[in-house]
Every structure is written in structure tokens, then in C-alpha cells.
Amino acid sequence: MELQQLVDRIASEVTPGGAVADYIPALARIDPHAFGLAVATLDGEVFGAGQYDRPFSIQSISKAFTLALALAENDDVWSRVGREPSGSPFNSLVQLETEQGIPRNPFINAGAVVVTDHLGLGAADRLLEFLRQESGNPALDVDPEVAKSELEHSDRNRALAHFMASYGNMRNPVDVVLHEYVRQCSIAMSCADLARATLFLARHGVRNDGTRLLGVSGAKRVNAVMLTCGTYDAAGQFAYRVGLPGKSGVGGGIIAVVPGKCAICVWSPALDARGNSVAGVDALDRFTTLTGWSVF
């Protein structure tokens, strides 16, 4: 089946379900029935269906890219954050306390704050420039309404950051890091943008301009952490159903990687209880079932 026919079929079969993220008011107003799907092949060609060119807030999808940027510099970040699935909610304080300020992995909120702190001042602008280059869309930017809304409702993340600071696991002032973190999560991108921007992980670390961001091992490691930790405490179920490295965000997006073949982004803002898009997981399940493409 041709890829365009495939994405059209999937878009016609999935049914959005769940509820939008209402703890960030700017996200609570998004149409829960919206749906978009894009598949980008290694040469950058994009096959899309639904609202695949409509920008949305990438939220925690940003964490996959900030981890890659940190690892492109060095592996030092692993001294400050682990690589194991959390088995707990993405904003858990309890687990952070029992593990003395070292987050379980870079994709829960505490871990992503550490990675942002590790990248240092200007982390959000560095990420934005990288995403503009990889997506081929120089107009990408932070959604100021989402950023303001999220910053005004960031008490839990502020508590996580201060707790880590009490253990010496923060290098920069908490408020400065949280500002960077909120800005990176509030970048608005479409499924087509994100699918293109994720292609470097399908190319084993090679960017769209042919330069290398990560070595083969580095790309493998980012994909591995995405597979085991990328969908919060539902990573096992995601691996079981989809069988691909993936990273979700509470804006309703999910990116997924088929190494050596393509990158995928699906968006539907209605979420399950664990913060993952219901229709998004269903669409990716159908994609791997119909194509037979999986890392297993």
C-alpha cells in the first residue's frame, strides 16, 4: 500500500477519545476531535492526512530533542539523570525524594528540567533554531499564550526544580531554568514539521543537511530511551501496541521513529489518564500493523 493511501486510511478509521489537558488553560480550549498524521521518509518527502499542517503545542515532545542536543555535546548529562522507566506519573515528587534528587529518566518533568538546566541559558532558543533547520520551517516559534498559561500554572514543576536544587542537582537559578523549560514546551509545530524534524533519529543521527548531530550509538540511545520512557508510565503498553521509539506530549502529539525508514508524527489532543493521545496511539498501532514496520 502506498504511504499516502495508508495515512488516508488510518485517518478515516481512528476515533479521537479521552479528554484534553485541562491543567494548562490554553490547552483546555483545543478541539478534542482534531486529528492529524504525517509520515516523513528519509528524503524528507511528507505524506499527510487530516490536520497534519496545523500547528499545536509540542509540550513534552520537546524533551526528545533537548536530550539529543545535550548528548551531542557530551554524555555528562547521565551523571544527573537516569535512564530507567519511572512507573510513576510524569510530575511525581515522591519518586524524586526517594532517589535523592536524581530523576529516573530525562522524559519525566524533573528529568527534562535537569536536561534544560544542563543545556544552560538560551536552551529554548537553541532548540527552536534546531527545529527550524530540521523542519525546514523558519517561521516556527513559541506560542506566547501557551507559554504564559503554562508558566502561571507551574507550581509542581517549580517544586520539583527546588527539590533537585536542594540536592545540588541544579546549576542555574530555578526561575531561569523554568522559563527556558516552559518556552521549549510551548513551541508550536505541525505534524509535518515534527515528522521532518525527527528524521535525524531515523537516519541514525544524520541531520537534514547531511551533517551529523549524533553518532550511530548516540541516536540508538535516544531511540532506546524513547522506547522505554517516552510515553510516561504507559511505555510498556506503547511498546506492546506500537513497537517503535516514541515521545508524546500533553498537547496531543506523538512522534515515532522507524530507524532506516521514516519518522512519524500524529496529533489528537484528547488524552488518556496517563497523558497520551488516545487516537494517536491507535493510529500508530494501525500504522505498524499495516506496514509491518517495527523495531521488533
Q: Which residues are catalytic?
A: 60, 63, 181, 232, 250
Amino acid at site 239: A
Torsion of CA 178, 274, 226, 139, to 10 degrees: -50
